[in-house]
Copies of this chain bind each other. A is one copy, B any other.
Amino acid sequence: MTPKRVDVRVSGLGGQGAVLVGEILGRAAVYDEKYVVQTQSYGAEARGSAARSEVIISDKEIGFPKVRKCDILVAMSQDALNKHLDDLKENGILLVDKNKVRDVPKVKAKVFSIPATEIAETASKSRIYVNTIMLGALTKITGVVSEEAAKEAIVDTVPKETIETNLESFGRGFEFVGSGD
């Protein structure tokens, strides 16, 4: 899958790492030699509110970002899903954390439900890895960035002492999707 331009939105609660996922994704796309426009909001998270980031990945130079519907939406909380679902294109791709999003309204979208919190707590003993698990699933499902570039971007983005566990978590998300769920 190599579309001309893909808009990805990652949303969640503050602290879940939506901004970090956007950063890694943006960096990975640059490694893949794409053009990238990356938007992130700060401030709200510190107040325990919603966090989000958006990454536009394109084969061509991107004009200053227009507001448009996204092709891919990652929702790591119910509130995030409720807030952003209207902005997902018809037949777009929706990834949710199954453990956090209980109620997915009927939509014309390909919905992937990943038990990211459960995987993080069981395998990595910490919820902080939910974001790289979702990133692994996203990479496998959408191919919007290459696996190699995503891993390289993780190494270059996360704190050194968490690289190994983040790469493992990425792998768990990536493999989960292939497991027939």
- In the complex, A126 Cα to B87 Cα: how many Å? 45
CB–CB A62/B41 < 8 A = yes
CB–CB A34/B43 < 8 A = yes
- In the complex, A66 Cα to B36 Cα: how many Å? 18
CB–CB B42/A30 < 8 A = yes
Quick one: given A49-B61, A61-B49, are A39 and B38 in contact (CB under 8 Å)? yes
Cβ distance A27 to chain B, nearest Cβ, rounded Å = 8
- Which residues of the other chain, B, contact A39 by a CB distance below 8 angstroms? 37-39, 65
A54 touches B (CB below 8 Å)? yes
- Which residues of the other chain, B, contact A43 by a CB distance below 8 angstroms? 29-30, 33-36, 61
